[in-house]
Structure 1
């Protein structure tokens, strides 16, 4: 597998490029978050995945709000095509090879145990935003069972064309999932639990957007 090779200069430049890109293409980015949690070290974030914009949006979220030392899985083909992503925290996974999968999962666990945050899309690839149920690979539950004393937090992303030329992006940062909910479950059961939590949070977010109930959101 290809490990990350963060470079502070490239990160500095990409953060500014990403902010301008999102600003040009979205009317607003609106956030609903759990303000009670301030320390996002040792945190595993799992995110629904429906568009090309998702990685850029969560990179922006981490830059502006979460401020963690963040890392994320990216398909090996994408990293080989755009190797600079390794400079901003991406590392490879190739689902065609079991050894590569296990190496990537082990690397994720090592990052978490060393105080980093890890961001993953457990659907594995882009799925339509409205597709239900959300279906996850079991890598998320594998990490949850083996990393030490981590926080696991669902992130929901929803996109909406409303009353403006450009779309709005909505982000929901969920509450940490209590270990007691999954520590006695097997991997399949844990995966199903995470699917249900993510689906419910995403559907709640969608309901607020459709009803134009923005009182719990702030623009970022």
Structure 2
């Protein structure tokens, strides 16, 4: 399958910003945020997230438009890109994980995207939607990108949905601090370090989300 590049449309992004906010307010009773990282004026960042639902595809856009304000792009499975072509207009580009050569092309495109000022990238390193509660098993793309872009912040973001208090679900998001693995680590070791950092955040979400509102702020 052919590679699908990002083709951002400022006009579409403006309209879609308000539509996305409306969707989340309608779908969730509350959206909460614990933010341990805010990009500086010249910061560039790779944000990596756990992937358990369809809504995960819109969370990066929501966070970037209302908090991070960077030139954001996102890696997205090629099958999903073809099913939801509008993602191309908000900065998504495709990756075919079944074809090594194609996957490498997508990762190189991601690296080239960081030539833009205040660039960022959102990535789901598990590569596909996984059952909530399962152990994280990342593919090697995130570690490879971090090696190619040593000056870029690598930031974990945990996503957790629950119906502890209401029949309508609540969404909790937790943005961690940048992960800085030693440069001597192998790709496998770096991958494991990134997994551990996100697993710690998810464990924190499971312990506190729905029980202690004081450590979160109301996002939506």
When normalised by structure 2's length, the TM-score is 0.93
Counterpart in 2 of 1:112?
Answer: 114
Q: Gaps spanning 5+ residues in structure 1: where? A: none
Counterpart in 2 of 1:216?
Answer: 215
* Inter-partner Cα distance in structure 1 for 2:167 and 2:109: 42
Counterpart in 2 of 1:102?
Answer: 104
The correspondence of residues 155-170 of structure 1 with structure 2, limited to 5 A, is 155-170=157-172
* Inter-partner Cα distance in structure 1 for 2:134 and 2:93: 27
Q: How many pairs were matched up? A: 216
- SS of alignment partner, residue 53 of structure 1: helix
* Inter-partner Cα distance in structure 2 for 1:8 and 1:14: 10
Is 1:124 the counterpart of 2:127 in the alignment?
A: yes
- SS of alignment partner, residue 126 of structure 1: coil
Please tell me the root mean square deviation across aligned C-alpha atoms, in Å: 1.5
How big is each residue's C-alpha offset from its partner over 1:124-159, in whole Å with a ceiling of 9 and x where there is no partner? Answer: 111112112x10000000000012411000000000
The correspondence of residues 26-175 of structure 1 with structure 2, limited to 5 A, is 26-34=28-36, 37-39=39-41, 41-115=43-117, 116-132=119-135, 134-175=136-177
- SS of alignment partner, residue 215 of structure 1: helix
* Inter-partner Cα distance in structure 2 for 1:5 and 1:60: 18
Q: Gaps spanning 5+ residues in structure 2: where? A: none
- SS of alignment partner, residue 12 of structure 1: helix
Does the 8 Å contact 1:40/1:68 carry over to 2? no
* Inter-partner Cα distance in structure 2 for 1:160 and 1:140: 28
Aligned CA distance change for structure 1 residues 48 and 190 (closer, same or farther; 3 Å)? same
Shift of 1:215: 1.0
* Inter-partner Cα distance in structure 2 for 1:12 and 1:29: 21
When normalised by structure 1's length, the TM-score is 0.93
- SS of alignment partner, residue 188 of structure 1: helix
Shift of 1:35: 5.3
How big is each residue's C-alpha offset from its partner over 1:172-192, in whole Å with a ceiling of 9 and x where there is no partner? Answer: 0000112xx231101011111
* Inter-partner Cα distance in structure 1 for 2:121 and 2:197: 18
Counterpart in 1 of 2:23?
Answer: 21
